[in-house]
Structure 1
């Protein structure tokens, strides 16, 4: 089993231990010692699982997860924490957790729970596919193939391409794309869309021979 797992743990020795063991199991890991920058990473990358401590500097782990859930982020979460009272565990699940493991913990049990949760959540995902010309977007695995070859996209790029394909006969203005793909956050501007579109074009049409995406000057973008 493979996948990208984000670990938020402020004790660096524990963080390194978890990363080492998960990478031995074939997972890709990215570690953070606080919730700072985690939201941006989740926005930009396709993350399969979040392992979250609760006793963190700044925002407490379960508060961060609750905020994330309010924004519509559905990434599965396992809490790994020293907060072990029954009320703590109930609170963790109420704040959007999918599983709860208390410290001290058994590494083998953690790995088994990760595999079980990933197997369950991947099975539950929408297995539909969206097709446009030689592009196939697999909504279940969130993978892109073009002419039978895999192309790596970030989460944001995948959502952007899906939005374009779902509205393939319509010119989408930048405000619409900002609302649908970026969630209408005021910090993002038209230039954000332009940069993301250009980056997406480079990935799906590096030699510029297929010209999937057409720029409609002064308005926005559409598929050719």
Structure 2
């Protein structure tokens, strides 16, 4: 069974999460601050992590950013008592894969963890997808565009793979949420928009044309840009 790291400084919440996840069959690694979490990532190499935003020594957002900067792509679910959109966007900006505001329902937490763990590597026999000058190797989880390597987070890669597999097909926001996260977010969620924004920034870093297009009022579509 998968190993889940729990980084939460509130003892009651940490112990409750530990009991719930162990009851569900997961191996758990509970720690009470961000510095201990950084060490635990190296020692235990968890399959996923639940990370609180407000922790001593290293906060959850900084922890996530440090992990991404050193190339760690472990799926991260951020817990936060902050409900403002800007606060949630900050966590996604740092490289988190998902967020869950406190207080939360246990079933929703478990559903989100299952969704993160489902998005695993595709295996050695996975195909290489091509769209224009974009090449996406689903086995190695590598993306290149025009010969340039594009470094993506796990969620960014998963979104891009889904869009490219369905190139020229307009995918609704709810369809993408269901496929990538395993459930639909509330209508006001900006999670997908944030990830799409960073995807575009990375894919278009050298002035290349747009591959991921917005269809207003519907969702997104991947297609080769029209020649100028």
Q: TM-score range by the shorter chain?
A: 0.5 to 0.7
CA–CA separation in structure 1 for the residues paired with 2:37 and 2:55: 13
The answer to whether structure 1 residue 127 and structure 2 residue 123 are counterparts is yes
Distance apart, 1:57 and its partner CA: 1.0
Match of 1:3? 2
CA–CA separation in structure 2 for the residues paired with 1:113 and 1:49: 11
Match of 1:72? 71
Query: Secondary structure of the equivalent of 2:34?
Result: coil
Which ranges in structure 1 are unaligned for 5 or more consecutive residues?
130-138, 141-224
How many residue pairs end up in the alignment? 127
CA–CA separation in structure 1 for the residues paired with 2:54 and 2:45: 25
CA–CA separation in structure 1 for the residues paired with 2:34 and 2:100: 19
Q: What TM-score do the two structures reach when normalised by structure 1?
A: 0.54
After TM superposition, list the pairs within 5 Å mapping 1:55-204 onto structure 2. 55-120=54-119, 122=120, 125-128=121-124
Moved over 3 A (4+): none
Query: Secondary structure of the equivalent of 1:63?
Result: helix
Distance apart, 1:80 and its partner CA: 1.0
CA–CA separation in structure 2 for the residues paired with 1:45 and 1:14: 21
Query: Secondary structure of the equivalent of 1:6?
Result: strand
| Max Rg structure | 1
Match of 1:146? none
Q: What do the CA deviations read for 1:22-66 (whole angstroms, capped 9, x no partner)?
A: 111110111111012322221232310010000111221111110
Match of 1:47? 46
Q: What TM-score do the two structures reach when normalised by structure 2?
A: 0.53
CA–CA separation in structure 2 for the residues paired with 1:42 and 1:5: 10
CA–CA separation in structure 2 for the residues paired with 1:9 and 1:111: 16
CA–CA separation in structure 1 for the residues paired with 2:99 and 2:83: 9
CA–CA separation in structure 2 for the residues paired with 1:9 and 1:55: 8
Query: Secondary structure of the equivalent of 1:51?
Result: strand
Distance apart, 1:81 and its partner CA: 1.3
Distance apart, 1:20 and its partner CA: 0.6
Query: Secondary structure of the equivalent of 1:59?
Result: coil
Query: Secondary structure of the equivalent of 1:79?
Result: strand
Which ranges in structure 2 are unaligned for 5 or more consecutive residues?
126-138, 141-228
What is the root-mean-square deviation in Å for CA atoms of aligned residues? 1.7
CA–CA separation in structure 2 for the residues paired with 1:114 and 1:82: 18
Query: Secondary structure of the equivalent of 1:17?
Result: helix
